[in-house]
Amino acid sequence: MALLSPLNLVNDLLLKVFNQETINYAVWPLIQIGLVVTLVALWVAYATYLERKISAFIQARLGPMRVGPWGLLQPIADGLKLLTKEDFVPEKADRWIFFFAPYIAVAAAFIVFSVIPFGPDWAVITDVNIGLLLVLAVSSVGVLALILAGWSSNSKYALLGALRSSAQMVSYEVGMGLALIGALMFSRTLSLSGIIGAQGSDSIWFIAYQPVGFLLFLVAGIAENNRAPFDLPEAESELVAGFHTEYSGMRWSLFFMAEYAAMVVVASVATTVYLGGWYVPFVNRLDTNGYHNLYVLVCVLAFVIKASIILYIYFWLRWTLPRFRYDQLMDIGWKWLIPAAIINIGWSAVTVFLAQALDTWGVLDTIQHVGYRLDLTAKGKGVVIGMGLVGLALTGVLLSRINWRSRDFHLKTQRRNIRLVDVPKGKPAVAVAERS
């Protein structure tokens, strides 16, 4: 009860102004929204700090060190700097679209947080029964902002960046959506809390059932966020800054925030669907022992840590890999990712069928309980995990069959070593003085 009392205190205070119904349906959600937006914005800001630090350590340097201890205040200093910078609008830009594009980007990224379950109970703003669909739908609005920004800037670099980003995000959304379907077959719900619940009741993360799906989602997520090695829309060495070439000051930083917020979204969805979300084994004892709010906080912390691990993978990849080319990106999207996702769907269906069939045939005792969701016994989990690993191999084999004829598949054999030759030396061109 330790942490519950402050909430009750606030509730009592609110009761003096509103009735309990208003508080439940309007005041508490608003407080939740305010908190989530603030905290997520802070998370986003410190994600930039972390990225700078991690990239610095990868590159044998220190990163931000001057503003505050270990440069911890750097994101705040950056924000202040960007707020005070000139917000420049090119003369021939389409003014209104140019103004509103960044807001669309940020809004699309932040709206998704309304359904992300950061923890149980009060740590989720709302639990929509089509949560995952909503996440995909809203985050794909983000591409609109990029296109509008690129188009309204009236700059060729921005236009090229916008074209690239629209092609990229449209094709990777397909792969992303298809990659998630495999996991949905096990959760049997689109509600994000429901997906976590399914993993909690099975006490296993879906990454074990769906290794292929997880990998596909990670890759598609990077592409969806326009992050390296898929950061073509803003490929700085080719397109200067891509779709936000003409943006400056706070409007630019809104795009920047949207990018990081979208990363946090993808990391959160990956955590929710594949890494068990806020679910941590044994922690619910806190709940049953009466420390409900502490339990929620621990779960939120677990969620943030898991999502941050995925963010770290993103940073790591960005600072390690070179950038793909536009056509290669499309190849990966359509010739690798989408076939793999379709194979994964088929294989997951076979897995679910087999897990149930083994039980009905009486071969193996796999099913604990069939109802709203599929509850597996330990043997059943073993079967599904085994099938998942087989699926990993199967996907690899099928993909290599599909792409056997493509040029890029045999890159390593195309690579030839250089040869070293020793050419006989010609007549020296310079005179050497006698040794004195």
Partner 1 sequence: MHQVEIATTQETLLDSPEMILNMGPQHPSTHGVLRVVLKLDGETVIDLDCDIGYLHRGMEKIAENRMYTQIAPYWDRLDYIAAVSNGLVWVETVEQMMGLAVPPRAHYLRTILTELNRIASHLLWLATHALDIGAVTVLLWALREREEILKIFERQFGARLTCHAWRVGGMPNDAYDDFNSDVRTFVNNFPKRLDEYETVLSENRIWLSRTVGIGVISAEDAIAIGLSGPALRGSGVPWDVRKSRPYAAYADVDFDIPLGENGDTYDRYLVRLEEMRQSRRIIDQALEKLPDGPVNAKLPKIVKPPAGDYYHSIEGPKGEIGCYVVSDGSAQPWRVRVRPPSFVNLQALKQMCVGHLVADVVAIIGTLDIVLGEIDR
Q: Which residues bind partner 1 (CB under 8 A)?
A: 55, 58-61, 156-157, 160, 228-229, 231-232, 235-240, 319-328, 407-408, 411-412, 414-436
Residues 6+ apart with CB under 8 A from 255: 102, 105, 145, 149, 243, 244, 247
CA distance 96 to 100: 6
163 or 387: whose CB is closer to partner 1? Answer: 163
295 or 314: whose CB is closer to partner 1? Answer: 314
> Which contacts of 42-46 are long-range, i.e. CB under 8 A and separated by 24 or more positions?
43/264, 43/304, 44/257, 44/260, 44/261, 44/264, 45/75, 45/76, 45/79, 45/257, 46/75
We find the least distance from the C-beta atom of residue 347 to partner 1, in angstroms, to be 25
- Please state whether 189 falls in left (phi above 0), alpha (psi between -120 and 50) or beta: beta
Coil vs helix vs strand at 374 = strand
CA distance 247 to 399: 41
- Angle ∠(355,360,365) on CA atoms, nearest 5: 60
26 or 321: whose CB is closer to partner 1? Answer: 321
CA distance 199 to 384: 14
Residue with tokens 């379950």: 117
We find the least distance from the C-beta atom of residue 426 to partner 1, in angstroms, to be 4
Residues 6+ apart with CB under 8 A from 232: 161, 164, 165, 168, 226, 238, 239, 242, 323, 324, 325, 326, 329
We find the least distance from the C-beta atom of residue 363 to partner 1, in angstroms, to be 42
160 or 307: whose CB is closer to partner 1? Answer: 160
Contact 138, 116 (CB under 8 A): no
We find the least distance from the C-beta atom of residue 352 to partner 1, in angstroms, to be 33
Output the CA–CA distances (angstroms, integers) from residue 71 to 251, 279, 416, in the order listed: 24, 33, 46
122 or 319: whose CB is closer to partner 1? Answer: 319
17 or 420: whose CB is closer to partner 1? Answer: 420
We find the least distance from the C-beta atom of residue 311 to partner 1, in angstroms, to be 18
CA distance 199 to 214: 14
We find the least distance from the C-beta atom of residue 327 to partner 1, in angstroms, to be 7
Q: In 3D, which of 67, 102, 63, 60 has the Cα closest to residue 81?
A: 67
We find the least distance from the C-beta atom of residue 424 to partner 1, in angstroms, to be 8
Contact 224, 265 (CB under 8 A): no
Radius of gyration of the chain (CA): 26
Coil vs helix vs strand at 370 = strand
Residue 430 is classified by DSSP as: S
We find the least distance from the C-beta atom of residue 331 to partner 1, in angstroms, to be 9
Contact 134, 115 (CB under 8 A): yes
Contact 232, 150 (CB under 8 A): no
We find the least distance from the C-beta atom of residue 317 to partner 1, in angstroms, to be 11
DSSP H or E segment with residue 367 = strand 367-370
205 or 230: whose CB is closer to partner 1? Answer: 230
We find the least distance from the C-beta atom of residue 159 to partner 1, in angstroms, to be 9
13 or 421: whose CB is closer to partner 1? Answer: 421
DSSP conformation letters of 125-140: S---TTHHHHHHHHHT
We find the least distance from the C-beta atom of residue 378 to partner 1, in angstroms, to be 39
35 or 97: whose CB is closer to partner 1? Answer: 97
237 or 288: whose CB is closer to partner 1? Answer: 237
121 or 236: whose CB is closer to partner 1? Answer: 236
